[in-house]
Structure 1
Amino acid sequence: MTDQPELPGGERSQDAPVVVNLSEYRQSRDPVPVTFHRRELDAILKIYGRMVGEGEWKDYAIDHLKDRAVFSIFKRSGETPLFRIEKNPKLANKQGAYCVLNTHGMTLKRGHELPQVLRVFDKMLKLID
């Protein structure tokens, strides 16, 4: 016995509703992309605004991917990013969900709390005239 109505001869109607298991449907559809929350963006944009005011940074991009969210920082918009601030929830229980990467992909700082990770920008050395 099935949940589908049967026609004479054992065939099913084309217009008959299809019964779908809800848990299977949820697993099969695309996952929701990872995003930055408002407080996270506020912290990132606070540092970004300070560095733009100092003339260090000029542009940014935000990418919301399936496995992580990325805030890329550029000196000029046509170049590769100077820094990338990434949020990867899969690493939250291990190394920490947040990290700052440089142009070459080297991790500058990683941690569980975003304000702590963003302190890497406070330590940037500046050329003194």
Structure 2
Amino acid sequence: MVAGGPVSGSIIAFPGAHNGQASSQVGFDRLELQRILDLYGRMVAAGLWRDYAMDFAREAASFSAFRRAAERPQARIEKRPSLRGKQGMWTLFGEAGQVLKRGHELSNVLSSLERKLLKVVED
């Protein structure tokens, strides 16, 4: 036995674990992430976006889309469950950090970005 080492049969908590409970960080569920990545793929195909980043914190999860990796995000979609009962847990931020849209449903918040994909077709 090594001095100061764990005793045989003892359980050592994983760093960051809270008494056997799952981490309390906010994340996207599978359908939310699928919806966001679908829009991201269409924006990449249209040449509007080229890179993305995701951030998961205790209070909020965010998805940022970039034209170029070295720039500020062109759009940031944030999920903040603590606002669910107020103005809605979904927020769309613009390039300068301004709030473009808030809502209770992800599809309503993404609709303003999806309008950029619509093109007028002439006869």
1:127 to partner: Cα distance: 9.6
Structure 1 residue 35 corresponds to structure 2 residue 27: yes
Q: Can you list the C-alpha shifts for 1:37-62, whole angstroms capped at 9, x where unaligned?
A: 11000110111100000111000000
Matching residue's letter, 1:85: I
Residue 72 of structure 1: aligned partner: 64
Gaps of 5+ in 2: 1-17
- Matched residue pairs, number? 102
What's 2:52 paired with?
60
Give 5+ residue unaligned stretches, structure 1: 1-25
Q: CA RMSD in A?
A: 2.5
Task: Map residues 2-41 of structure 1 onto 2, 5 A cutoff.
Answer: 32-41=24-33
- Rg (Cα) greater in structure: 1
C-alpha displacement of 1:105 = 1.2
Equivalent position of 1:48 in the other structure: 40
In structure 1, what is the equivalent of residue 115 of structure 2? 123
State the TM-score, normalizing by the size of structure 1: 0.72
Structure 1's consecutive aligned runs of 4 or more residues displaced over 4 angstroms after TM superposition are 125-128
Q: In the TM superposition, what is the alpha-carbon distance from 1:124 to its structure 2 partner?
A: 2.9
Residue 82 of structure 1: which of 41, 53, 74 is its match?
A: 74
- How far apart, CA to CA, are the structure 1 residues paired with 2:44 and 2:23? 34
